[in-house]
Amino acid sequence: MNIPYLTLILFLPVAGAIVVALLPKPEQKTIRSVALVFTLLSFFLSIGVFLGFDRSSAAGTMQFEEKLSWLPAIGSAYHLGVDGISLVMMILTTLIGVLTILVSWKVTSRPREYFIWLLVLETSILGVFTSVDLIMFFIFWEVELVPMYFLISIWGTGRKEYSALKYVIYTITGSALMLAGILTLYFSVGTMDMAVIAQTDLSKATTIIPLAGIFVLLLIGFAIKLPVFPLHTWLPDAHTDAPTAVSVVLAGVLLKMGGYGMIRFNVGFFPSVAEDAAPILMALAVVNVLYGAAITLRQTDLKRLIAYSSVSHMGLVLLGVFALTPVSLTGATLQMFNHGVVTGLLFAMVGLVYDKTHNRNLGKLGGLARQMPIVVVVFSIAGLASLGLPGTSGFAAEFLVFVGSFTSTTVTSARVLTLLSAFGIVLTAGYILWMLQRVFYGPPKEEYNRVPDADRVEMLCIFSFVAVIGLIGIYPAILTNVIQVGTRSLTVLVGAP
Amino acid sequence: MPYQLAWFIWTLPVFAFLAITLVLRPFFNHRPHWSAYATITAIGAAFVLSIWALITVLQSPDHLLAVPRIEWAVIDGFTIHLGLLVDSLTAIMLVVVTGVSLLVQIYSQGYMHGDPGYPRYFAWMALFTANMLGLVMADSLLFMYVFWEGVGLCSYLLIGFWFHKKSAADAAKKAFLVTRLGDFGFLAGILTLYFSQNTFDIEALRTAAAAGAIAGTTLTLAAIGIFAGAAGKSAQFPLHTWLPDAMEGPTPVSSLIHAATMVAAGVFLVARMFPVFAYSETALNVVAGIGAFTAIFAASMGLVANDIKRVMAYSTISQLGYMMLALGAGGLAAYASGGSLPIEEAISLGVAVGMFHLFNHAFFKCLLFLGCGSVNHATGTFDMRYMGGLRKYMPFTTLTFVIASLSLAGIWPLSGFWSKDEILVTSWNYIPVWFYVALVTVFMTAFYCFRAVFLTFSGEYRGGEPGAHVAAHSTPGHEQSHMPHESPRVMLVPMGVLAVLSIVSGWINLSGGFSSFLGHSAESEGGWLQTLFGVFTHPLPFISLATAAAGIFLAFAMYNRKWVSATAVGRAFSPIYKVLYNKYWMDELYQGILVKSFLLNGLFRGAQEMDADVVDGVANGIGNTVVGFGKGMRRMETGQLQGYAVAIAVGLVAIMLGLYFWT
């Protein structure tokens, strides 16, 4: 039992990148196959970890831990581990990792660099989710920027340099504050071990600046990533101008780093501060949901529309996290997974439609249902999942968030705020159905008569997404059984039963 | 009946759906009829099982078929059960839904013949039926909500079946969005009840409401939330606007939506959760008031519509209003009677009266729509101005349509008479103000449905509609001959069955059998034969019958004999005519003013501009300031040593002066 599963999962993508870099004859077909093999291996291993994860009530929070001494002087170690929440995020990342390779199957422009960056990106995200050490967490958090910057600014479209730079500046601003937060935290408790800090009652520790100050320093970085209003405007630009696969990763997993950080740091370390801040953050969640949906309804660019819908949907994550009940936190984590898969699929579908029609403008598309029978079915399923139709993962996640938040007793205004966010289901239905109608319904247009439907690789990719959406929708317990192992330890601190 | 079989009632159609989408459509597309057979077989089997379930429930002493629930998932102590609740209410709904759906599917084989989407049509119809069956069988609000949304989805898909038409796609979207607005209320109601009782279980919630465990504002809010959901699905004012447009779907779909599936769900939901309503007088008044107002409001728009399906759509909205009124008035009986009638009695009274009308309405309304479909099959139009004289060409359709219309108008001894009479009696007894509204509606109903009868079937044939409308509504398989012709037998047989049911279905309650099955024991006056005629010993049936007859007579005078010119009447009441013809401008108010002007181009546009100019603007502004500052700083770094030396000197002097004055 000494196989370092997490290390393998974490570094397999980078190993793939190295192999790609060393290939003697860098042909696109070889490169993508190598990338696919390494991401698949990483994915299968993460499924193995998922199956081997101890779900019993006596189970320890952190499992599959690996610890090597690294920088003993500052108490930092090479320390990996997963609890229920990070495990689910890890599976999401490796799954999306495989699917982005399939989405990129036809990328021919500078393929070697492209796939290298994509693989490095996957490792950096996995590092964020599996690190138990603060310094490691921070390093992976920062490393992720490098591949993102190049992927958007080289392979993107539109104002790609502007969007890439904007993304980097926003994130770095957040990271700077986060670093300050991490250092204050370290000098207050004297350890970089997140598992240890989570067990420490910080309100009794002597801190350099007030606890709430550290809370805010950390929060801003995560709030930019999630994103939380008014720190969200990097998102539509970055999503819209990124190449399809990067949009899928961005919406699919990068945003989840924000939600994950909030759960792990803000709620996990500072339960009492989180309780005080909850009403404000839940109110911001309502703004995210409704304001995001309102702006989504005004979009005419297909990709931008999906991008703004993310702002709205991630609002539900914020709501669930700071409602601070076991069910709401489980719901929020499930919502992160759900949003990753559903919005990942939506971006993949937009990419498909764009590749074939060379158009993303809702005013110019139309009537494609006849010409792309498979695309319309899958796009509709993704849309229905996005609007939270029962039987899809969207419903399972949203309903858990609503039930959990509505019954929150720590926040007095929770019920009103939950109902306000729940109104988002009407607005979401509005833009999703409007979008489907604009793209697919109405009389078929002649200029799209020769447009091909999804081919085999594309079908493999999008049907995999659909299978996950359906599986989680019908039997959400497959993930929630794991998630609750992680939320259990958090909510004990918040004073739940 | 072994309880396991109950699960098959709703899963059989699901299997049919899966078989069509996963096997028949991809691999046997050259045999489209197999899809129809799959759906018909599954629903037929479900119908047999439903009958069996009904018999079992009838024979069981507590009118209940116990089905053990399955634990599905436990999430942090929040348990999700899957379970079925088969009581008398469910058993009746099961038979109605499967029975009507079966007949509609058989009919559809003829109507949809040759349509390129034939397998898709039957797949969705199977799924639609499955969801409705699940909805009526679900034992928890959560499980019910799942099917509730499923019904909404299927109606969206079926209304937009011919999605290449903009009107169909628009109508489908409208149906989904308007009902979703109501669903938001339903969700809020579910959450409120869960917060109060920590359970979704319907039986537990009903008990809790009856025991007073949920009370006061919580109860009222929960009830009104649930009613909002019901009002969305059952097209009650102000969420009624989607139903008239929903006729963009194939006519058999309308038939199913209007009779047994979609719209019945709302009334069923209120009946199912009625104990929650019954302990809140406010909620009951809302239900009765909205119901009665919707009844007359929708009927008034039906008076002037030219599209035969639209007339029927308004009639559905109006009749659903009656059902809501029945529920509300029945529940109010406990309050109106000053406590002499216990609330439990009032609950069963309301449910019995409301459900009885739903039961009868399902048959005659389904028949009316199948009649519309038959007429459309022959003429290629739904516009009554281009019909006329069809009784010569379509005698069977004419006969069944007239029977259904008589039933709808409430003519003795057809089924509609009996249930409408009960509603009138209940409202007269307990909430008289709405009685008068209901009575006026009886007149309007009789008038508009016979206006449709005379316009369509009497006089001379006006040749069907030329041009766009025909092309839009007819499907490739519908051969258009110059003269209309009777529909094929596969369409007529279901209509015949429904015609018989439209006559006799009301007799089931002559000796109070239907009511007592639902827990309300009405005072019976001997045998059913005695009641059949004895009903006229009371004055009220005379009044309603006379009112209906007057309505029919007016229609006869205006549209058959033309003693009074319809156009002259229209001109005389021109302002009213305009208001009605434009549907009170509700669509314009909602779509034009509320959605387009206020929300999309007002509030949402403001949000978008704020996002671009303020939120993003500030971020870009900060960026530009920093860049500008950097540029300014760069100008100082000139590289000329003299400049630096001067700066150093000035700085040094400044520091020294500072130190000097400071210390």
Domain ranges of chain A: 5-493
| Torsion over CA: A302, A304, A305, A309 (sign) | positive
- Phi, psi (deg, nearest 5) at residue A79: -135, 110
d(Cα B74, Cα A191) in Å, to the nearest integer? 36
Residue of A nearest to B609 (CA): A295
Cα-to-chain-centroid distance, residue B405 = 21
Pick among B78, B143, B613 to test the A interface (most A CBs inside 10 A): B78
Contact B497, B370 (CB under 8 A): no
Q: How far is A275 from chain B (nearest CA, A)?
A: 20
Q: Name the residue facing B184 among A423, A433, A444 (closest C-beta).
A: A423
**Cβ pair B75:A430 closer than 8 A:** no
Name chain B contacts of A326, Cβ cutoff 8 Å. Answer: 76-77
Per-residue pLDDT tens digits for A434-483: 999 988 888 888 888 888 888 888 888 899 999 999 999 989 888 988 88
- Chain A residue closest in CA terms to B150: A390
- Burial profile B478-495: b = 16 or more Cβ within 10 angstroms, e = fewer: beeeeebebbeeebbebb
* Tokens read off for A496: 């739940």
Largest interatomic CA distance in chain A? 71
Whether residue B476 has pLDDT greater than 60:
no
> How far away is chain A from the Cα of B325, in angstroms, using its nearest Cα?
28
CA distances from B484 to B395, B450, B574 (A): 11, 21, 34
On the question of pLDDT at B482 being above 70, the answer is no
d(CA A171, CA A277): 23
Task: Provide mean pLDDT across the span B292-320.
Answer: 89
**DSSP secondary structure letter of residue B64:** E
ipTM of the complex: 0.90
Task: Kindly give, in sequence order, each residue whose CB lies less than 8 Å from that of residue B126, ignoring residues fewer than 6 positions away.
Answer: B13, B14, B16, B17, B20, B38, B39, B42, B43
User: In angstroms, what separates the C-alpha of A488 from chain B's closest C-alpha?
Assistant: 8
The one-letter amino acid at A264: R
pLDDT given for residue A65 in this prediction: 84
Contact A233 B616 (CB under 8 A): yes
Q: How confident is the model at residue B470, as a pLDDT?
A: 43
**Is residue B504 over pLDDT 90?**
no
Token code pair at residue A260: 């994950």
Which of B166, B180, B195 is nearest residue A407 as measured by Cβ atoms?
B195
Query: Residue B317 — very low, low, confident or very high, per pLDDT cuts 50/70/90?
Result: very high
Contacts of B169 in chain A (CB under 8 A): 437, 441-442
The backbone torsions φ and ψ at residue A157, rounded to the nearest 5 degrees and listed phi first, read -130, 170
pLDDT tens by residue, B251-296: 889 888 888 788 889 999 999 999 888 888 889 999 999 999 999 9
Q: What are the C-alpha distances in Å from A454 to residues A96, A109, A379, B222?
A: 19, 21, 11, 46
Q: CA of A152: how far to CAs of A114, A141, A173, A261, in Å?
A: 10, 17, 19, 24
Q: Which amino acid is at A117?
A: W
**C-alpha closest to that of A303 among A238, A371, A257:** A238
Percentage of chain A with pLDDT > 90?
48
Residue of chain B nearest A170, judged by CA positions: B619
Choose the most confident range, by mean pLDDT, from A314-323, B22-31, B391-400, B616-625: A314-323
Q: What pLDDT sits at residue B471?
A: 41
Which helix or strand (DSSP H or E) is residue A137 part of? Answer: helix A134-143
Cα B604 to its chain centre, rounded Å, is: 29
CB contact under 8 A, B177 and A430: yes
Burial (CB count <10 Å: 0-12, 13-18, 19+), residue B432: exposed
Q: Hey, what amino acid is at A457?
A: V
- Looking at beta carbons, which residues of chain B come within 8 Å of A441? 160, 163-164, 166, 169
Contacts of A403 in chain B (CB under 8 A): 78, 191, 194
Nearest-CA distance B298 → chain A (Å) = 25
pLDDT, residue A497, reads 39
- A118: Cβ contacts below 8 Å, ≥ 6 apart: A35, A100, A101, A104, A147, A151, A245, A246, A249
Angle among Cα B388, B391, B393 to the nearest 5 degrees reads 95
Question: B375 and B307 in contact (C-beta within 8 Å)?
Answer: no
Selecting from B150, B187, B615 the residue whose C-beta is nearest the C-beta of A230 gives B615
Instruction: Determine how many CB atoms are found less than 10 A away from the CB of residue A388.
Output: 29
**Residue B631 — very low, low, confident or very high, per pLDDT cuts 50/70/90?**
confident
Euclidean distance between CA atoms B33 and B38, whole angstroms: 9
Contacts of B160 in chain A (CB under 8 A): 441
Token pair belonging to B120: 């898709």
- Is it the case that residue B483 has pLDDT exceeding 80? no
Contact state of A233 with B75 under an 8 Å Cβ cutoff = no
The tokens 């007073």 sit on which residue?
A: B212
Q: Quick one: pLDDT at residue B231?
A: 92
- For residue A473, what is the nearest residue in chain B, using CA coordinates? B146
B428-442 pLDDT tens trace: 888 888 888 888 899
* Cβ <8 Å between B176 and A476: no
Shortest Cα–Cα distance, A230 to chain B (Å): 6
Name the minimum distance, in Å, from the CA of B422 to any CA of chain A: 38
Which runs of consecutive H residues, i.e. helices, occur in B198-280? 202-210, 216-233, 242-245, 251-259, 262-272, 274-278
- Closest residue to A433, CB basis, from B74, B177, B181: B177
* Range B84-98 average pLDDT: 90
pLDDT band at residue B525 using 50, 70 and 90 as cut-offs = low
Residue B41 near residue B49 (C-beta atoms within 8 A): no
**B506-519 pLDDT per residue, tens:** 887 777 777 777 77
Q: Cβ contact (<8 Å) for A442 and B607?
A: no
pTM for this prediction: 0.90
Peptide bond preceding B238 in cis form (omega within 30 of 0): yes
Contact status, residue A367 vs residue A442, Cβ threshold 8 Å: yes
Q: Collect all residues of chain B within an 8 Å Cβ-Cβ radius of residue A488.
A: 76
> How far from B12 is each of B45, B50, B131, B523, CA to CA, in Å?
8, 12, 11, 40
Nearest to A257 by CA among A173, A180, A174, A164: A174
Quick check: A496 pLDDT over 50? no
CB-based contact A295 B608, cutoff 8 Å: yes
Question: How far apart are the C-alpha atoms of B257 and B264, rounded to whole Å?
Answer: 8
Q: Tell if the CB–CB gap between A441 and B166 is shorter than 8 Å.
A: yes
Checking if the pLDDT of B472 tops 60, the result is no
The token duo for B114 is: 């040759």
Whether the predicted pLDDT of B113 surpasses 70 = yes
What dihedral angle (degrees, nearest 10) is formed by the CA atoms of A408, B147, B420, B553? 120
What is the token pair recorded at B274? 């009625």
Q: Which residues contact A87 (CB under 8 A, 6 or more apart)?
A: A49, A50, A53, A63, A482, A486
Which residue is closest to B615 within chain A, CA to CA?
A230
Tell if the CB–CB gap between B191 and A487 is shorter than 8 Å. no
Residue of B522, B188, B484, B498 whose CA lies nearest to B364: B498
Q: Apex CA A450: angle with CA A449 and CA A456, to 5°?
A: 125
Residue B376 distance to chain A (closest CA, Å): 23
d(CA B59, CA B57): 5
Of all residues in chain B, the one with the smallest CA distance to A489 is B76
pLDDT in tens, A259-270: 999 999 999 888
DSSP class of residue A8?
H
Contact indicator for B158, B119 with CB cutoff of 8 Å: no
**Which tens digit of pLDDT belongs to each residue from B39-72?**
999 999 999 999 999 888 888 888 888 888 888 8
Chain B residues inside the 8 Å CB shell of A234:
619
Whether residue A352 contacts residue A429, with contact meaning beta carbons closer than 8 Å, is answered with: no
Tell me which of A361-375, A462-476, B5-19 is least confident.
A361-375
- Identify which of B295, B277, B165 has the alpha carbon closest to the alpha carbon of residue B229: B277
Count interface pairs A-B at CB distance under 8 A: 129
Question: Are the C-beta atoms of residues B117 and B161 closer than 8 Å to each other?
Answer: yes
| Partner residue facing B611 (CB), from A295, A391, A418 | A295
Mean pLDDT of B573-588: 80
Write the CA distances from A198 to A267, A276, A489, B383, B566, integer angstroms.
9, 18, 9, 72, 81
pLDDT band at A12 (very low <50, low <70, confident <90, very high): very high
Residues B195, A406: C-beta atoms closer than 8 Å: yes
Q: Which two tokens mark B375?
A: 């007429």
**How does pLDDT run across A393-424, given as a tens digit for each residue?**
999 999 999 998 998 888 888 889 999 999 99
| A419, A423, A440, A482, best to mutate vs chain B, most B CBs in 10 Å | A419
C-alpha distances in Å from residue A432, one per residue of A438, A481, B576: 10, 31, 38
**Tokens 């439990």 correspond to what residue?**
B344
- Which chain A positions have a beta carbon within 8 Å of B176's beta carbon? 429, 433
Which of B156, B605, B611 would best serve as a mutation to test chain A binding (most A beta carbons within 10 A)?
Answer: B611
What mean pLDDT is reported for chain B?
85
CA dihedral (B587, B592, B594, B595) positive or negative: positive
Cβ(A34)–Cβ(A19) below 8 Å? yes
- A1: closest CA of chain B, how far (Å): 30
For an interface test with A, the pick among B25, B75, B181, B618 (most A C-beta atoms closer than 10 Å) comes out as B75
Nearest to A477 among B75, B150, B616 (CB): B75
**Pick the residue with more confidence: A62 or B40?**
B40
Helices (H), B410-460: 415-430, 432-457
**Res B32 pLDDT > 90:** no
Contact A494, A410 (CB under 8 A): yes
Distances (CA, A) of B281 to B25, B39, B215, B334, B447: 52, 44, 11, 9, 34
Q: Which amino acid is at A420?
A: L
pLDDT tens, A206-243?
A: 777 888 889 999 999 999 998 998 888 899 999 999 99
State percent of chain B over pLDDT 90: 20
Suggest the residue from B10, B11, B20, B76 to mutate for an interface test with chain A (most A CBs closer than 10 A): B76
Interface test with B, best of A167, A297, A431 (most B CBs within 10 A): A297
Selection from A277, A296, A178 nearest residue A232 by Cα: A296
The answer to whether residue B335 scores a pLDDT higher than 50 is: yes
Decide if B549 contacts B555 (C-beta within 8 A): no
- Is residue B559 within 8 Å of residue B458, measured between CB atoms? yes
User: A308 pLDDT exceeds 60?
Assistant: yes
Beta bridge partners of B539: none
pLDDT band at B474; cut points 50, 70, 90: very low
pLDDT, tens only, A72-106 = 777 788 889 898 899 999 999 999 999 999 999 88
CB pair distance less than 8 Å for A233 and B615: yes
Instruction: Tell me the backbone φ, ψ of residue B351, rounded to 5 degrees.
Output: -65, -45
Residues on chain A touching B163 (C-beta within 8 angstroms)? 369, 440-442
**B155 vs chain A: nearest CA distance in angstroms?**
14
Q: Give the H/E segment covering residue A461.
A: helix A456-474
Mean pLDDT of chain A: 89
The answer to whether the Cβ–Cβ distance between A418 and B191 falls below 8 Å is: yes
Strand partners, A68: A78
Nearest CA in chain A to B148: A390
Q: Given B149, B164, B607, which is nearest A370 (Cβ)?
A: B164
Percent of chain A with pLDDT strictly greater than 70: 98
Q: Which of A294, A330, A429 sits opposite B177 (nearest CB)?
A: A429
